[in-house]
């Protein structure tokens, strides 16, 4: 299965050897595979497949198993280091710009910091009215759409705790239950539809982005005044936001629910 490599990648020229080796890596992703099978699948001679596989193995990018070649230990190392080096914001940027351009709204990205959400970056849309939230802002996580998106994987006890924390005082039982009910709806939808409780008429659509481990690492959102982001507009935009989040997820290695 997997996608047969039909597409003639535009690929940089003058790197056939490298590209073929990386093609091999892509095949091995699907599980251990025999060198001879690689040659067939990728349309190269047995000799070439053999040579590349040996090279990859000598660098520990591949490991030998009784079932053929599998991903090697070097990838464990690189994977961990990549996690430290990768800057999710930078990767997300181009997708955010695209989303902003298409929708005309401001797009935000943020991550969780303990019980808070930190706004990391934004792309200002063409909209005249701008939401004031600036990169760097930190807000109680249960208070913002972005924050709530970051919480979709948490359990209800955590939702309650953070909601209470966000409210500072002691919200009524009814308020808490109402919040949890909303969160359930967001979770079911996979996307947060947020109306600010501050009465400033700010509305947002926020969606979590998942990393290679399937965990929520950041979230993106579109925010504007309810005047612009009407129910109707929201219904139109919601799928777009979600698609953008999915694309960013794919860019950071998310493989989809498994």
Partner DNA sequence: ATAGACGTTCCTTTATTTGGGACGGGTGAC
Partner DNA sequence: GTCACCCGTCCCAAATAAAGGAACGTCTAT
Q: Which is nearer to its own copies, 13 or 173 (CB)?
A: 13
- Residue 3 and residue 207: Cα distance in Å, rounded? 27
Contact 127, 224 (CB under 8 A): yes
Does 59 help bind DNA (rule: CB under 7 A)? Answer: no
What are the strands of the beta sheet with 216-225, ordered from one edge? 138-140, 116-123, 106-113, 216-225, 202-210, 192-195
Count of residues that interact with DNA, criterion CB under 7 A: 21
- Using alpha carbons, select from 231, 144, 225, 152 the residue that is nearest to residue 191: 152
* Piece of 35-43, 56-64, 130-138, 168-176 that binds its own copies (CB under 8 A): 56-64
**Considering beta carbons, is residue 21 or 35 the nearer one to its own copies?**
21
Please identify, using beta-carbon distances, which residue of 46 and 213 lies nearer to DNA. 46
Tell me the residue ranges of DSSP E strands in 57-115: 62-65, 68-71, 106-113
> Taking CB under 7 A as the rule, does residue 158 contact DNA?
no
Any contact of residue 17 with DNA (CB under 7 A)? yes
Distance between CA atoms of residues 174 and 84, nearest Å: 42
Smaller CB separation from DNA, 44 or 96: 44
How does strand 202-210 pair with strand 216-225?
Answer: antiparallel
139 interface partner picked from DNA, its own copies, none, CB below 5 to 8 A per type? none
Q: 3-state SS of the chain: helix, strand, coil percent to 5? A: 45, 20, 35
- CA–CA dist 145, 143 (Å, integer): 7
**How far is it, in rounded angstroms, from Cα 33 to Cα 68?**
5
Task: Decide: is 14 part of the binding site for DNA (CB under 7 A).
Answer: yes
Among 151, 212, 209, CA closest to 183:
151
Binding part of the chain for DNA, among 30-38, 98-106, 174-182, 193-201 by CB under 7 A, reads 30-38
Q: Which is nearer to DNA, 46 or 102 (CB)?
A: 46
**Of 16 and 178, CB closest to DNA:** 16
Residues that bind its own copies (CB under 8 A): 9-12, 14-19, 21-22, 25, 29, 31-32, 51-52, 54-56, 58-61, 63-65, 70-83, 85-87, 90-91, 211-213, 251-255
Residues that bind DNA (CB under 7 A): 13-18, 20, 34-37, 44-48, 50-52, 54, 68
């Amino acid at each position: 299965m997997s996608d047969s490599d039909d597409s003639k990648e535009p690929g940089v020229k003058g790197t056939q050897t490298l590209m073929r080796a990386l093609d091999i890596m892509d095949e091995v992703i699907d599980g251990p595979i025999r060198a001879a099978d690689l040659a067939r699948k990728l349309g190269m001679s047995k000799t070439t497949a053999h040579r590349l596989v040996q090279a990859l193995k000598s660098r520990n990018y591949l490991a030998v198993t009784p079932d053929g070649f599998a991903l090697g230990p070097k990838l464990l190392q690189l994977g961990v280091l990549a996690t430290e080096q990768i800057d999710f914001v930078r990767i997300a940027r181009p997708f955010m710009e695209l989303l902003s351009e298409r929708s005309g709204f401001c797009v935000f990205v943020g991550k969780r910091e303990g019980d808070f959400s930190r706004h990391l970056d934004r792309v200002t849309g063409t909209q005249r009215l701008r939401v004031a939230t600036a990169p760097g802002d930190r807000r109680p996580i249960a208070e913002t759409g972005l924050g709530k998106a970051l919480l979709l994987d948490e359990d209800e006890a955590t939702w309650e705790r953070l909601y209470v924390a966000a409210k500072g005082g002691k919200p009524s039982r009814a308020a808490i239950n109402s919040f949890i009910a909303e969160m359930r709806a967001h979770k079911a939808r996979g996307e947060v539809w947020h109306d600010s409780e501050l009465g400033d008429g700010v509305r947002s659509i926020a969606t979590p982005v998942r990393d290679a481990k399937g965990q929520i690492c950041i979230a993106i959102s579109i925010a504007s005044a309810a005047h612009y982001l009407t129910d109707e507009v929201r219904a139109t935009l919601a799928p777009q936001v979600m698609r953008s989040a999915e694309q960013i997820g794919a860019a950071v290695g998310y493989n989809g629910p498994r």
